[in-house]
A and B are shown apart, each in its own frame.
Chain A
């Protein structure tokens, strides 16, 4: 088991290097001279040249990349063009807010998704099943920023029950301000989880061992919980893990709708002010978090499924990541 975990961790290194290189490369395609962006239009040619050397822009891309990585490992993502503050500090400052939102979103997805999926599978082709399938289809097809606008239109403006902007301080205020963004972020994922849970349960539900369990006289509740759900769990965990990653990336939209002070909004603001180090730092940070979540999901598999555990000790690493 430990061998497997170490192996997966080592395999992360080339992926992360690749991810950071791609983002670094893309960001370096930005037209315009960074020195001119920092110093403004009035700067003299000498000042610009000096600034370029200070930023290391005279060196080749690959050298700059490894310098960037080296600095990153030491908690330094450069300075923001806009306010000359440390990018790392700002990213670390905003990330917890995004994490809170993403975790709340995934909770919404789980709390709605798994029970509805189970009921849907157990009552296949009934009115209940059809309704939940139609609703989940609508949920998957709804742009989440639009759902956010609709929710704030109804619950904040018309009914006045909940705040629609910003993040509250203090536990109760935070919770109140979290409800609408979390619902916005989580609904699409909930719909995906419903569909995944349903189809995964349906695959299990007709297996012989379920009939055996029933024949042994185990209560239906126990059969569902211990015999069906446990076996249906793997694809559900995959779906949830992937959704969590998507939520980190998709938080940008929700954060913009609700003026949530997270990493996504920081990124959007930085794009608008052409603050490249900030955009790069935030993107790389989110991409690394996404990879880490994927890694954790892969490790969770091996805990919940003994078959995978034994397969790995024999066959080694196989990629199972699917894009949805």
Chain B
């Protein structure tokens, strides 16, 4: 039997276990639904050349401002008379894609650092991991805020800020799993066959780190979305009038007396997304490593 077939069966096995966890499956469905919403709104923007976005998502209608939920506007209208339901939908892309991209970025950087540190050991390991220790010694939200404060508030800077603050987590995860496999015989065999370090790391070592990495990344996306919302709430993230959950909450703060829906709804959006990612991450962890489950 080939190695590939065995590998597939591991994932099939994981999926079989994951499916049994109803909560985790619900979480996954919510995340898939959010992706569908995000992509649909992007397609709508592309097809209508942002006409729909301009007319319905950011166009102000002060006559109807702060109106509560009704049949026409199920989530009500905000302080500028914009439909909150539509703004919620258009905001999905920022939270979701920025969270995913930021974590993807830190997974890549973190894995490279972690793999090099674990594989080469000694001085290399010490230098890289002590640097990671230093980054970890700054609370992630504080680090992200400092970076945005220095570089200025733009989508890219927020992304960089969040990504950097998560690099050490992934470097540690990958390093730990590299250390567990690097002395195995198949690595020795690969070396004996003359495989380069690069090939050994990417072909034989990193695939073995996938399980903990996937779990960490899922939970990391949840953390990243919270940080993005937090930065936007402080006015350091995505700027109005662009709809984003954190900045919607930030502007709702001034109208907290005038309409509860302004405050409640964007927060619910954030919470449901994070909740879905958390239960999915927990489910993945249990499915990938059943021994951990108590």
**Per-position 1/0 for B263-289, Cβ under 8 A of A:** 110110011001100110000000000
With beta carbons under 8 angstroms apart, the residue of A146, A152, A203, A290 that contacts B137 is A290
Cross-chain contact A146 with B146 (CB below 8 angstroms): no
Contact B271 A15 (CB under 8 A): no
CA of A246 to CA of B139, assembled, Å: 6
Known: A143-B271, A283-B146. A15 touches B137 (CB 8 A): yes
> CB-defined interface of A144-184 with B at 8 Å, one 1/0 digit per residue?
01100110110001000000000000000000000000000
Interface segment, A216-224, A252-260, A305-313?
A252-260
A124 and chain B: residue at smallest CB distance: B294
Produce 1/0 per residue, B236-260, CB < 8 A to A: 1000000000100100110011001
Nearest A residue to B147 via CB reads: A26
Say if the beta carbon of A69 comes within 8 Å of chain B.
no
Partner of A149, one of B133, B172, B222, B256: B256
The yes or no answer to B43 lying at the interface (CB within 8 A) is: no
Q: Say how far B44's CB is from chain A's closest CB, in angstroms.
A: 27
Determine whether B186 belongs to the interface, using a CB cutoff of 8 Å to chain A: no
Which B residues from 210 to 258 make CB contacts under 8 A with A?
A: 222, 226, 229-230, 233-236, 246, 249, 252-253, 256-257
A256 CB → nearest B CB, Å: 6
Asked if A141 contacts B222 (CB within 8 A), the reply is: yes
Cβ of A271 < 8 Å from any Cβ of B? yes
Q: Are A157 and B146 in contact (CB under 8 A)?
A: no
Q: How far is the CA of A29 from the CA of B147 in the complex (A)?
A: 9
Question: Any chain A CB within 8 A of the CB of B140?
Answer: yes
Contact A271 B233 (CB under 8 A): no
CB distance from B129 to the nearest CB of A (A): 8
Does A78 lie at the interface of the complex (its beta carbon under 8 Å from any beta carbon of B)?
no
Q: Is chain B's interface secondary structure helix, strand, loop, or mixed overall?
A: helix
A29–B136 CB distance below 8 A: no
Contact of B263 (CB < 8 Å), options: A150, A283, A286: A150
- Taking CB atoms, residues of chain A closer than 8 Å to B156 are none
- Is the beta-carbon distance between A323 and B169 smaller than 8 angstroms? yes
- Report yes or no: B256 in contact with A157, Cβ–Cβ below 8 A: yes
Q: Does B76 make an interface contact (CB < 8 A)? A: no
A321 to B274, CA, bound (A): 24
Q: Which residue of chain B has the shortest Cβ distance to A134 in the bound complex?
A: B23
Are B149 and A323 interface neighbours, CB within 8 A? no
Which of B130, B136, B257, B260 has the largest count of A CB atoms less than 10 A from its CB? B136
> Whole-angstrom distance between the alpha carbons of A323 and B170 in the complex?
10
A118 to B275, CA, bound (A): 23
Q: In the complex, what residues of A have CB within 8 A of residue B168's CB?
A: 323
Please state if A29 and B150 are interface contacts (CB–CB under 8 Å). yes
**Is A18 among interface residues, defined by CB-CB distance under 8 A?**
yes
Does the CB pair B142–A268 fall under 8 Å?
Answer: no
* A250 x B141 contact (CB < 8 A): yes
Judge whether A321 and B267 touch: CB under 8 Å.
no
Judge whether A132 is part of the interface by a CB distance below 8 angstroms: no
Kindly state the separation between the CA atoms of A229 and B140 in the bound complex, as whole angstroms. Answer: 30
Q: Are B279 and A22 in contact (CB under 8 A)?
A: no
Please give, as numbers and ranges, the residues of chain B lying within 8 Å of A31 by CB-CB distance: 152
- By beta carbon, the residue of chain B nearest A265 is B234
Knowing A18-B131, A23-B146, A268-B234, say if A141 contacts B137 (CB, 8 Å): no
Q: How many whole Å from B13's CB to the nearest CB in chain A? A: 24
User: If the complex has contacts A22-B134, A150-B267, A248-B139, are A141 and B150 also in contact, measured as CB distance less than 8 A?
Assistant: no
Task: Say yes or no for A262: interface residue by CB 8 A criterion.
Answer: no
A28 to B146, CA, bound (A): 11
Choose from A16, A137, A146 the contact partner of B279 (Cβ within 8 Å). A137
Report B-chain residues with C-beta under 8 Å of the C-beta of A15: 133-134, 137
Checking B133, B138, B270 against A23 with a beta-carbon cut-off of 8 angstroms, the contacting residue is: B138
Closest chain A residue, CB of each to CB of B249: A146
Q: Known contacts A137-B275, A149-B263, A249-B140; can you find 13 more A-B pairs with CB under 8 A?
A: A15-B137, A19-B137, A19-B138, A22-B135, A28-B150, A146-B267, A153-B256, A248-B139, A249-B141, A252-B141, A253-B141, A256-B233, A267-B145
Interface CB pairs A-B, < 8 A, 29: A15-B134, A18-B130, A18-B131, A19-B137, A22-B135, A27-B146, A29-B151, A137-B278, A140-B274, A141-B222, A141-B275, A142-B267, A142-B274, A143-B230, A143-B271, A145-B230, A146-B271, A202-B294, A249-B140, A253-B234, A257-B253, A267-B145, A268-B235, A271-B149, A279-B149, A283-B138, A283-B142, A290-B138, A290-B142
Leading 9 A-B pairs by shortest Cβ distance: A249-B139, A146-B267, A18-B134, A141-B274, A141-B275, A249-B142, A271-B149, A30-B150, A249-B141
